[in-house]
Structure 1
Amino acid sequence: MSNILFIIGNGFDLAHRLPTRFDPDFREIAEKNESNPYFWELYQSAEPNIWSDFENLLAKPDFNSLAEIFEYYAPDHSSDRESDRDGIILEAEMSGNLKESLEEFANQAEGKLANITPQRFFKDLFTNGDLYINFNYTHTLEQVYGIEIDRVLHVHGESGNENLLLGYPEGDFSPEDIHEDIRQKGRGPYRDTSIKEYINSLEDYYVRTAHEILINKVESFKKEFKIELVEEFLSGHKLINEIIVYGHSCAIDFPYFEYLNVTFPLANWKFFSFDERTIMNIEMMVCHIGIRNYSVVEK
């Protein structure tokens, strides 16, 4: 019986040439599904190009351009038709639905598995009885390498189910302040106001409701850590002596690594790294968590 636990991240799927990059694979799907392309920019106070950046930035949306975007949908209070007033609310409800885009993204990658062949490196790396904590949505391990499903935990959900997780760590939500024009004449003076304070100050019901819908939607993109799933998955496997990390950026998901380090304090960790940024992430994480026995393999 093997005593090896693998932690599998997106780099594993990328090694098999699956379309699982944040940019362009997910970004193109998400932008395509936005009713107004400008809404996409609200989620990003900076320009991300990898998953960990994107997820962390979801906690810091920038709504400063929202007033300009909403001008086109401004409610017409002189009209007798409700649709001329609540269009701004409907637009907000149609925007920012990243979960649907995430499902499309996962299913698109899953559909490519039939054409993927196993690689010798991984066939040699994986042995009978290994356990796998998989942060990917795809079933590459199961379909390409024949790993038994009860040996794989998809901790962020899996393709084909509606349980896909995406987002920032709970408690990290801190939107950019609104640079509010006090006189509302475009010439200042300006002051920084929290997004929720700004929304509460909006007098128009339709405009305020549209803002509330969007901020609540973005705030819902928090990622709950499923430590209890890991605990249940590993119950009965107390003799893990090696933990191999492949394809994970080591820039997010720290509670899982911390739990494993506490649960298996004598385990030897092996991290596969692909660039200098990942090496830096690994060194910072092992120092923060207190992992003592580890090695880094550049690949």
Structure 2
Amino acid sequence: MERHLYIIGNGFDLHHGINSSYRNFRDWLYENEPTVIQDIEEAYGCCDDEWWSDFENQLGSLDILEYASAVASENVPDLMSDHCDRMWNDAQIEVEQSLDGLYSDLRSCFRNWILQLNSPREDKKIELIREGSRFLTFNYSKTLENMYGVPSAQILHIHGCIDDNEEFVLGHCVGEDELRKMIIVNDPEPPSDDDPEAYEQWRMEMEDNHQLHQQLAEDAAVSGVASQQKTVKKLLHRYKDFFDSLYDVTHIHVYGMSFSEVDAPYLNMVAQIARDAEWEISDYQGYCEMEITSFIDLHKITNYKVIELNTLISRLQLEIDFPAN
């Protein structure tokens, strides 16, 4: 008996004419929340089209050393002040408050943007096998429910849904340990002991480079960026029963996924459980060819085909009624 699993990504909604790309989100921010987009650019630097097209992963790309150094330079403790001891934490507090505010505003804006997205186009409807199928969707929208009539009991919105009160799951894939490795500075070797003047200069530079207030600012920046990591492991554990139930799936349809690093663990889990399934993977104009090939090779999948969603548009949408003579 055939059992189908549909894995739905943002490309599915884009196919249906929904303006749900991250660049659409950027444009919405420029129009509706210009101060937020300004804060993003001040923190992350140049945020071009390429940056926004990989928005989730880019949340983990903050140049922590540069960001913390800039804040620390504006919050240097006054060593002559009677309150100097209290000032060592000023840079840390500034980083914490700035990043917390930025990410809080960004997530609030993201939800507001999702809630106002346009409706899908009926003429883009594709053929789905609804009865008995299971759906794993990474989208927050209800395209499956509203356009295709798929019962909610058959759908797992693994990153949240517009009807939920929970915060949408959004984030990068860089862990805190990896972030800390990124800020390790390889200090120059000390000069030889026979040059006291050079050695003293080196010692003073090292003290400048490792001032306490800057270290605290760096730690705060690492924690702030790490807080935006997508909780993939927790979600896999939370929905373990769903994934375990996929052992008998015979056909897997992956529509609109980018095969990005941040969502790879979900796809890897499916591939490990449904080992004998036949795969059908959509790829818009070959944009994900390398990523798809790597995934196929990694899991030694031999029974698969790559298609474009436009080729699956329902035959009913292609019929043209001509007026009678």
Q: Which band: TM-score by shorter chain?
A: 0.7 to 0.9
* Contact 1:26 1:105 survives alignment (8 Å): no
SS at match of 1:168: coil
Q: Which has the higher strand share?
A: 1
Distance in 1 (alpha carbons) for counterparts of 2:112 and 2:148? 19
Shift in Å, 1:107: 3.3
Distance in 2 (alpha carbons) for counterparts of 1:71 and 1:120? 57
* Aligned counterpart, 2:21: 21
Instruction: Please identify the structure whose Cα radius of gyration is greater.
Output: 2
* Aligned counterpart, 1:217: 224
Aligned length: 278
Taking structure 1 as the reference length, what is the TM-score of the superposition? 0.74
Relative CO higher for 1 or 2, CA cutoff 8 Å, sep ≥ 6?
2
* Contact 2:59 2:225 survives alignment (8 Å): yes
Shift in Å, 1:103: 4.1
Write out aligned runs for 1:1-299 (5 A).
3-23=3-23, 25-26=25-26, 28=29, 32=36, 35=39, 37-41=41-45, 48-51=51-54, 54-66=55-67, 67-78=69-80, 87-97=90-100, 98=103, 100-112=105-117, 115-159=118-162, 160-162=165-167, 164-168=169-173, 170=175, 173=179, 174-175=181-182, 177-178=184-185, 202-204=210-212, 206-223=213-230, 224-225=232-233, 226-234=235-243, 238-252=247-261, 253-298=263-308, 299=310
Shift in Å, 1:15: 2.5
* Aligned counterpart, 2:314: none
Q: After alignment, is 251-260 or 73-82 more displaced?
A: 73-82
Distance in 2 (alpha carbons) for counterparts of 1:75 and 1:12? 53
Letter in 1 for 2:66: S
Question: Structure 1 266/163 Cα, relative in aligned 2: closer, same or farther at 3 Å?
Answer: same
Distance in 1 (alpha carbons) for counterparts of 2:294 and 2:34? 31
Shift in Å, 1:294: 0.7
CA-to-aligned-CA distance 1:233-254 (integer Å, 9 cap, x gap): 2555643211111110113222
Letter in 1 for 2:242: F
Question: Structure 1 131/295 Cα, relative in aligned 2: closer, same or farther at 3 Å?
Answer: same
Structure 1 residue runs of 4 or more that deviate by more than 6 Å after TM superposition: 80-85, 179-183
CA-to-aligned-CA distance 1:112-137 (integer Å, 9 cap, x gap): 2xx51453443533523321111123
* Contact 1:133 1:153 survives alignment (8 Å): yes
* Contact 1:36 1:95 survives alignment (8 Å): no
Question: Structure 1 260/95 Cα, relative in aligned 2: closer, same or farther at 3 Å?
Answer: same
Q: Which has the higher helix share?
A: 2
SS at match of 1:256: helix
* Contact 1:106 1:138 survives alignment (8 Å): no
Distance in 1 (alpha carbons) for counterparts of 2:142 and 2:81? 53
Question: Structure 1 69/121 Cα, relative in aligned 2: closer, same or farther at 3 Å?
Answer: same
Cα RMSD of the aligned pairs, angstroms, is 3.8
Shift in Å, 1:270: 0.5
Runs of 5+ in structure 2 lacking a partner? 191-205, 311-325
* Contact 2:174 2:226 survives alignment (8 Å): no
Taking structure 2 as the reference length, what is the TM-score of the superposition? 0.69
Distance in 1 (alpha carbons) for counterparts of 2:66 and 2:121? 47
Question: Structure 1 142/100 Cα, relative in aligned 2: closer, same or farther at 3 Å?
Answer: farther
Runs of 5+ in structure 1 lacking a partner? 184-197
Distance in 1 (alpha carbons) for counterparts of 2:170 and 2:302? 30
Shift in Å, 1:62: 2.2
SS at match of 1:269: strand
* Contact 1:8 1:135 survives alignment (8 Å): yes
Question: Structure 1 14/73 Cα, relative in aligned 2: closer, same or farther at 3 Å?
Answer: farther
Shift in Å, 1:20: 3.0
SS at match of 2:307: strand
Question: Structure 1 150/259 Cα, relative in aligned 2: closer, same or farther at 3 Å?
Answer: same
Question: Structure 1 279/245 Cα, relative in aligned 2: closer, same or farther at 3 Å?
Answer: same
